[in-house]
Amino acid sequence: MIRTLIVDDQTMIRVGIRAILQAQPDIEVVGEAENGQLGVDRSRGLRPDVVLMDVRMPVMDGLAATRALLGPDRAGSHTPRVLMLTTFDLDDYINAALQAGASGFLLKDSEPDDLIRAVRVVAGGEALLAPSITRRLIESFVEARPRRSAGATALNALTEREREVLRLMALGLSNNEIAASLFISEPTTKTHVSRILQKLGLRDRVQAVVFGYETGLVTPGGPARPG
């Protein structure tokens, strides 16, 4: 069961999201909060797997709340995955969400099925960004950051196969697509992904994608898909 917390200052949005998610057999809404500070407090108490976090809220906005939950100064050992929700498809919000450590980014006008899928894939570490938010945003985020000189050395810890899996992850392929591209099984792909994250000290797939760009394994402006 995926435990979720909804953090949004609009009651109707919370009610709508709750109704959509509660109808799913594998998702449980454990609580709600109307601002970022309450969201942080309730997340620490309720220990959800996924927090659906609005960006613009009173008292504490969603970006600050995400940093409080995921940053180095966070209180406690529980770290949920955060799915950012917003009505604005703006690069600055997406960049800030990535910097804060969010695992996904979804527009509020997305279809209910997209929301359900986003919660499931974020919980499983597969999520990245809403379909309408393109690869250029990851590229612009990485280009604004200094290149990781130590990162290239860290890549030496990976096997050739793991480096190839990481490259395909950074290109945006799902586990199923990676498996098909490399002619391996999906469970084998999942094992490779887990080992990559462990070896590189990365929290999730989003960090792995950014790492792939920062180290030059994938270059901005390069092909979106292999081949």
Per-residue pLDDT, 131: 46
Residue where a domain terminates, one of 133, 165, 195:
133
Q: Are 174 and 126 in contact (CB under 8 A)?
A: yes
- Same-domain pairing of 163 and 119: no
Contacting residues for 160 by C-beta, under 8 A, at least 6 apart: none
In total, the chain counts a number of residues equal to 227
Residue at which a domain ends, from 111, 133, 155 = 133
CB 106 within 8 A of CB 6: no
8 and 70 together in one domain: yes
Same domain (yes/no): 129, 17: yes
Same domain, 123 and 188: no
Let me know whether 190 and 114 are in one domain.
no
- List alpha helices for the chain, DSSP H: 11-22, 36-46, 62-70, 91-100, 112-123, 135-143, 149-154, 160-170, 175-182, 186-200, 205-214
Cα–Cα distance measured from residue 111 to residue 93, given in angstroms and rounded to the nearest whole number: 21
At residue 198, the pLDDT reads 92
- Domain assignment present for residue 160? The answer is yes
The domain that contains 173 carries what CATH number?
A: 1.10.10.10
Tell whether 162 and 68 lie within a shared domain.
no
Same domain for 101 and 201, yes or no, is no
Domain span including residue 74: 2-133
Q: How many domains does the chain have?
A: 2
Q: Is 118 exposed, middle or buried (0-12, 13-18, 19+ CB in 10 A)?
A: buried
What are the pLDDT tens digits along the chain (227 aa)? 999 999 999 999 999 999 999 999 999 999 999 999 999 999 999 999 999 999 989 999 999 999 999 877 666 667 899 998 887 666 567 777 777 888 878 888 888 998 998 899 888 876 555 544 545 556 666 666 555 555 567 888 999 999 999 998 887 777 888 999 999 999 999 999 999 999 998 877 777 877 887 787 877 655 545 54
Residues 75, 154 share a domain:
no
CATH number where 122 lies: 3.40.50.2300
Residue 176 and residue 64 share a domain = no
Residue the block writes with tokens 């498809």: 89
Does residue 226 belong to any structural domain of this protein? Answer: no
Contact assessment for residue 68 and residue 74, using Cβ atoms and an 8 Å cutoff: yes
Please check whether residues 102 and 161 belong to one and the same domain.
Answer: no
Residue 222 lies in a domain: no
